[in-house]
Structure 1
Amino acid sequence: MGEKFFLFSFLLCLPLAKAGLNFFISQQESFRVLGLVAELAYVRDGSINDVAQHFVVPVPSHIQELCFVWVNADSKAVKYSIFTKDNSMQSVNHVSLNISNQGVVPREPQIFCLLLPCTTILPSKLEVSMKINFTSFNNVTVLNVVMKKDCSSEEFRNAEQDVLSKVIPAEDSSFMLYVAVGVAFGILVVSLAAASCFLCPKHNLCHQQPPRTIVPSGTALYSPVQATCNEDLGAATLCVSDPAAHQIVVEDKTSFRLQRNNIHIGSTLLEGTFGSIFHATLQIPCQPLKDVIVKTVKHNAAEMQVRLMMEEGTRFQDLVHQNIYPLIGIVDGDGCRPLLVYPSVTYGNLKRWLLYCRGSLDGSLPHPLCTQDLVTIALHVLRGVQYLHQQNIIHRDLATRNCVIDDQFHVKLTDMALSRDFFPNDYHCLGDNENRPIKWMAMESLTRREFSTSSDIWSFGVVLWEVTTLAQQPYVEIDPFEVGRVLRDGYRLTQPINCPDELYAIMAYCWASSKSDRPTAPQLYRELHQFHHQLNEYI
Structure 2
Amino acid sequence: MGYNLIVFFFLLFFSLANAGLNFYISQQESFRVLGLVAELAYVRDGSINDVAQHFVVPVPSHIQELCFVWVNADSKAVKYSIFTKDNSMQPVNHVSLNISNQGVVPREPQIFCLLLPCSTYLPSKLEVSMKINFTSFNNVTVLNVVMKKDCSSEDFRNIDQDVLSKVIPAEDSSFMLFVAVGIAFGVLVVSLAAASCFLCPKHNLCRQQPQTQRTIAPNNGTAVYSPVQASCTEEAGVATLYVNDPAAHQIVAEDKPSFRLQRNNIIIGKTLLEGTFGSIFHATLQIPGIPLQDVIVKTVKNNAAETQVRLMMEEGTRFQDLKHQNIYPLIGIVDGDGCRPLLVYPSVTYGNLKRWLLYCRGSLDGSLPHPLCTQDLVTIALHVLRGVQYLHQQNIIHKDLATRNCVIDDLFHVKLTDMALSRDFFPNDYHCLGDNENRPIKWMAMESLTRRDFSTASDIWSFGVVLWEVTTLAQQPYVEIDPFEVGRVLRDGYRLTQPVNCPDELYAIMAYCWSSSKSDRPTAPQLYRELHQFHQTLNEYI
Please classify the TM superposition score into its range, dividing by the shorter chain length.
0.5 to 0.7
Q: 2:197 aligns to what SS in structure 1? A: helix
Cα deviations by residue, 1:173-232 (Å, 9 ceiling, x for unpaired): 99999999999999999999999999999999999999x999999999999999994495
Evaluate the alpha carbon distance shift between residue 181 and residue 498 of structure 1 in structure 2; reply closer, same or farther with a 3 A threshold. Answer: closer
Evaluate the alpha carbon distance shift between residue 240 and residue 163 of structure 1 in structure 2; reply closer, same or farther with a 3 A threshold. Answer: closer
Q: Is the 8 A contact 1:258 1:329 kept in 2?
A: yes
TM-score of the two chains, using structure 2 as the length reference: 0.60
1:256 to partner: Cα distance = 1.2
Alignment gaps of 5+ in structure 1: none
Which is further off, 146-155 or 305-314?
146-155
Q: Is the 8 A contact 1:11 1:50 kept in 2?
A: no
Evaluate the alpha carbon distance shift between residue 109 and residue 376 of structure 1 in structure 2; reply closer, same or farther with a 3 A threshold. Answer: farther
Evaluate the alpha carbon distance shift between residue 38 and residue 149 of structure 1 in structure 2; reply closer, same or farther with a 3 A threshold. Answer: same
1:408 to partner: Cα distance = 1.0
1:362 to partner: Cα distance = 1.6
Q: Is the 8 A contact 1:214 1:254 kept in 2?
A: no
Q: 1:24 aligns to what SS in structure 2? A: strand
Q: Distance in 1 between matches of 2:120 and 2:283?
A: 56
1:538 to partner: Cα distance = 1.2
Within the candidate set 230, 235, 244, 1:232 is matched to: 235
Q: Distance in 2 between matches of 1:305 and 1:423?
A: 15
Cα deviations by residue, 1:451-489 (Å, 9 ceiling, x for unpaired): 000000000000000000000000001100000000001
Evaluate the alpha carbon distance shift between residue 172 and residue 446 of structure 1 in structure 2; reply closer, same or farther with a 3 A threshold. Answer: closer
Q: Distance in 2 between matches of 1:178 and 1:17?
A: 25
1:333 to partner: Cα distance = 1.0
1:88 to partner: Cα distance = 46
Q: 2:106 aligns to what SS in structure 1? A: coil
1:257 to partner: Cα distance = 0.6
Alignment gaps of 5+ in structure 2: none
Evaluate the alpha carbon distance shift between residue 500 and residue 310 of structure 1 in structure 2; reply closer, same or farther with a 3 A threshold. Answer: same
Q: Is the 8 A contact 1:23 1:68 kept in 2?
A: yes
1:358 to partner: Cα distance = 0.5
1:431 to partner: Cα distance = 0.4
Give 1:83-482 correspondences, 5 Å limit.
229-230=232-233, 233-234=236-237, 256-482=259-485
1:361 to partner: Cα distance = 1.2
Which is further off, 289-298 or 50-59?
50-59
Evaluate the alpha carbon distance shift between residue 472 and residue 47 of structure 1 in structure 2; reply closer, same or farther with a 3 A threshold. Answer: farther
Q: Is the 8 A contact 1:279 1:291 kept in 2?
A: yes
Q: 1:492 aligns to what SS in structure 2? A: strand
Q: 1:13 aligns to what SS in structure 2? A: helix
Q: Is the 8 A contact 1:268 1:276 kept in 2?
A: yes
Evaluate the alpha carbon distance shift between residue 106 and residue 90 of structure 1 in structure 2; reply closer, same or farther with a 3 A threshold. Answer: same
Cα deviations by residue, 1:401-452 (Å, 9 ceiling, x for unpaired): 0000011110000000000000000000000000000000000000100000
Evaluate the alpha carbon distance shift between residue 102 and residue 499 of structure 1 in structure 2; reply closer, same or farther with a 3 A threshold. Answer: closer
Which is further off, 189-198 or 103-112?
189-198
Q: Distance in 1 between matches of 2:138 and 2:176?
A: 69
1:364 to partner: Cα distance = 2.5
Q: 1:14 aligns to what SS in structure 2? A: helix
Q: Is the 8 A contact 1:86 1:93 kept in 2?
A: yes
1:395 to partner: Cα distance = 0.1
Q: Is the 8 A contact 2:272 2:280 kept in 1?
A: yes
Which is further off, 15-24 or 418-427?
15-24
Evaluate the alpha carbon distance shift between residue 364 and residue 284 of structure 1 in structure 2; reply closer, same or farther with a 3 A threshold. Answer: same
Q: Is the 8 A contact 1:100 1:513 kept in 2?
A: no
Q: Distance in 2 between matches of 1:206 and 1:117?
A: 28
Cα deviations by residue, 1:351-400 (Å, 9 ceiling, x for unpaired): 00000000011222322201000000000000000000000000000000
Q: Is the 8 A contact 1:10 1:49 kept in 2?
A: no
Percent identity, aligned pairs only, is 91
Evaluate the alpha carbon distance shift between residue 435 and residue 151 of structure 1 in structure 2; reply closer, same or farther with a 3 A threshold. Answer: closer
Evaluate the alpha carbon distance shift between residue 173 and residue 369 of structure 1 in structure 2; reply closer, same or farther with a 3 A threshold. Answer: closer
1:121 to partner: Cα distance = 50
Q: 1:199 aligns to what SS in structure 2? A: coil
Evaluate the alpha carbon distance shift between residue 168 and residue 331 of structure 1 in structure 2; reply closer, same or farther with a 3 A threshold. Answer: farther
Evaluate the alpha carbon distance shift between residue 26 and residue 171 of structure 1 in structure 2; reply closer, same or farther with a 3 A threshold. Answer: closer
Aligned length: 538
Q: Distance in 2 between matches of 1:97 and 1:187?
A: 19
Cα deviations by residue, 1:281-320 (Å, 9 ceiling, x for unpaired): 0001011111000000000100000000000000001100
Q: Is the 8 A contact 2:126 2:148 kept in 1?
A: yes
1:75 to partner: Cα distance = 29
Q: Is the 8 A contact 1:59 1:147 kept in 2?
A: yes
Q: Distance in 1 between matches of 2:167 and 2:492?
A: 36
Which is further off, 481-490 or 33-42?
33-42
Q: 1:192 aligns to what SS in structure 2? A: helix
Q: Is the 8 A contact 2:112 2:165 kept in 1?
A: no
Q: Is the 8 A contact 1:113 1:509 kept in 2?
A: no
1:116 to partner: Cα distance = 30
Cα deviations by residue, 1:257-280 (Å, 9 ceiling, x for unpaired): 100000011110111110000000
Q: Is the 8 A contact 1:223 1:332 kept in 2?
A: no
Which is further off, 37-46 or 307-316?
37-46
Q: Is the 8 A contact 1:162 1:522 kept in 2?
A: no
1:118 to partner: Cα distance = 41
